Amino acid sequence: MAKREKIREKSGERFKQFQLEILIVFAAIILIVTAFLDYIILDKSGRAMRQTVSSLIAANSRQLELNINSYLDRMQTVPTLLFSDESFYLYDATDDSIDEYDKVKSEEVIKDRIVDIGLMENYADFGIIYADDHKVGWISHGTQDLFPEGGMYDAFAKYIVNPKKNDGWCFGINGNTDRMYYIKRLNPNAILVSSAYTKELASVFIYPEQLDEMNIRLVDSDNTIMFSETSEEIGEKLPEAIANELEANKVNAKFADMSSSIISEDYIINSNVCGNDWRVICSVPTKIILEENLKLRSFTLRVSMGMAILFVFIGLFLITRLSRPVDGMVTTLQEKAEIDKLSGVMNRGTFQETVEMRLQLPMDNRIIVYVMLDMDNFKQVNDKLGHSHGDQVIIRVGNLLRSIYNSETIIGRIGGDEFALYSECIDVDKAEVVDVTKEQMDYVLEQFHDEFVIERDKCGVSISAGVFVTDKSDITFKELYEKADGALYKSKQAGKSQYTLIEG
């Protein structure tokens, strides 16, 4: 009965395990499908978000471009007011034919004009430099100190690159990075130089709501940073990663110098070209944009996992509730399938399957004892005492074997009157196992002899056995069977009611 109970338990466990596996697989499918859908949806929303943010940055960058253009236009427009009267722009301080008094008076007039037109701007410099480096107006000490050896006029004049307007911009002259210069030619020997501190651009580069780690920079045509909110960057080159992205995407643009928006794995970059070829570059690491998206993704995955786990628990509960009747039915059916109904031990198929499973388990120092028992003259019982008695004998043999061997020994009925036993010992000397097995076999034969007195007297019933003891680790069921069967044959040949033990 204990064996039957154990088999019932075992079959129930297997069924539950099967149900759990189904449930887990199903939950995993739900999780994977949810995760996949999440990935698709969130990836799509991430792309849309990047696109939207890029568009917003582009719109704001365009505004910054307009701001800087307006600022630069103002710086360019004010000097043109010097062209309102010839006395301002045609005066040539290098002309030796002009009387000294006239020079003083002319320069006073020009100085007054410069003061008047430059009154409302924050200029660092606003003055005229003549070909001999003579200056009129506000040419600051800072600018003069950049040219300790002279040559100020020539140094600035070379930045006049616009042939139509006769003007130009420069930044970083002689290593100076705190101001940007605008230069305009007044006459062949005079240029107007005005400058403003790049710090002034802070009031131009106002970004309404700025993203974390977003950088707004103004760079000249050499990618030298003229303005950045990180003031230490001013005068440095644009970070390589951003410059490379811009360079790499140049080929994709219809025009290399046009304003463009770039969305790459690392950055969202917006480059806007100003009126004088300087560029406003807004860049923000893509990960910052997707941070919220990633948080949402993580949240959704957690929710999906939670739901999957919840589903498993609810499923388990429901299965438990719904499958109890089915469970009992399945257990009974399984028992019927695995247990020989007469002897109460395993049927042949189950026995073989169980033994093969044990043999597949990798074990060191294992001694296997395989016994085959065959009743002698059992046919006489059926013939003389009837099949019903024969069945009773089989039942009694099963009971006898189960009472002799403990639960560690696998017992099976492998034929009409044939039984097989499988047991294993670990870390025991083989000789010792052989000795114990012999004692056991003697005991089995003795118990058999005592049990079946009537049957022996009337029908000559006894029992023969073949025992195979082996320490081979890679032995198969077939080999075991054949060896034990060979030993059984020897017992039969030797006169029955005995056992033969062979080692392998």
Contact residues for another protein (CB under 8 A)? 100-101, 103-105, 107-108, 111, 114-116, 118-120, 122-124, 135, 138, 140-142, 144, 178, 197, 199, 203, 209, 296, 303, 307, 310, 314, 317-318, 321
SS3 content of the chain, % helix, strand, coil (to 5): 55, 20, 25
**296/434 with CB nearer another protein:** 296
**135/413 with CB nearer another protein:** 135
**109/253 with CB nearer another protein:** 109
CB atoms within 10 A of CB 276: 20
Q: Residue 138 Cβ, how far from another protein at the closest point, in Å? A: 5
Q: Residue 140 Cβ, how far from another protein at the closest point, in Å? A: 5
Q: Residue 102 Cβ, how far from another protein at the closest point, in Å? A: 9
Question: Could you tell me which of 95, 119, 91, 94 has the C-alpha nearest to residue 107?
Answer: 91
Q: Residue 309 Cβ, how far from another protein at the closest point, in Å? A: 12
Strand spans (E) along 21-77: none
**138/267 with CB nearer another protein:** 138
Q: Residue 387 Cβ, how far from another protein at the closest point, in Å? A: 46
**109/263 with CB nearer another protein:** 109
Q: Residue 146 Cβ, how far from another protein at the closest point, in Å? A: 11
Question: Could you tell me which of 331, 497, 347 has the C-alpha nearest to residue 416?
Answer: 347
Angle between helices 286-338 and 2-80 (to 10 degrees): 170
CB 345 within 8 A of CB 396: no
**Residue 189: both structure tokens together:** 């020997």
CB 461 within 8 A of CB 389: no
Q: Which amino acid is at 96?
A: D
CB 504 within 8 A of CB 483: yes
CB 192 within 8 A of CB 178: no
**103/348 with CB nearer another protein:** 103
d(CA 192, CA 205): 26
**171/448 with CB nearer another protein:** 171
Torsion of CA 383, 386, 390, 396, to 10 degrees: -140
**52/166 with CB nearer another protein:** 52
Q: Residue 263 Cβ, how far from another protein at the closest point, in Å? A: 22
Q: Residue 385 Cβ, how far from another protein at the closest point, in Å? A: 51
Q: Residue 206 Cβ, how far from another protein at the closest point, in Å? A: 11
**135/366 with CB nearer another protein:** 135
**Residue 288: both structure tokens together:** 């910052």
Q: HEC profile for 390-432?
A: HHHHHHHHHHHHHHHCCCCCEEEECCCCEEEEEEEEECCCHHH
**188/208 with CB nearer another protein:** 208
CA distances 466 to 284, 369, 441, 471, Å, are 84, 10, 10, 17
Element (H, E) at 454: helix 453-459
What single-letter DSSP state applies at residue 83? G
**311/405 with CB nearer another protein:** 311
Q: Residue 97 Cβ, how far from another protein at the closest point, in Å? A: 16
CB 339 within 8 A of CB 345: yes
Q: Residue 500 Cβ, how far from another protein at the closest point, in Å? A: 60
Q: Residue 287 Cβ, how far from another protein at the closest point, in Å? A: 21
Q: HEC profile for 159-198?
A: CCCECCCCEEEEECHHHCCCEEEEEEEEECCEEEEEEEEH
**109/502 with CB nearer another protein:** 109
**Residue 48: both structure tokens together:** 């849309």
Q: 2: which residues sit within 8 A by CB, 6+ positions away?
A: 407
Three-state secondary structure call for residue 122 = coil
CB 372 within 8 A of CB 484: yes
